[in-house]
Amino acid sequence: MTERSQEFISKVWEHRNNGANIEEKLVAAILLVAAENIRSYTAQNDLIVLDRDDMLQLAEELNA
C-alpha cells in the first residue's frame, strides 16, 4: 500500500471509531475522505471539480 492509501485508510478508521458505526455513516465518511484526498481543480465558474482518474488511482493503490 502506498503512503497515500495508508493515510486514507487511517482516516476512514478514525471516522469509524468516532461515530461512523453504521453502514450509511461509514459510506458517507469514505466519500468525504476520498473527496479530501484526490486532486481537484477549480472550474471557470468557481466550482470544484474532482479528478475521476485520481480517484480510480487511489482505488488501485488501496487494492495493491
What was the pLDDT predicted at 64? 77
What was the pLDDT predicted at 29? 93
CB 51 within 8 A of CB 41: yes
What was the pLDDT predicted at 60? 92
pLDDT tens by residue, 5-62? 999 999 999 999 999 999 999 999 999 999 999 999 999 999 999 999 999 999 999 8
Alpha helix stretches (DSSP H) within the chain: 3-17, 23-37, 52-63
How far apart CA 26 and CA 11 sit, in angstroms, is: 11
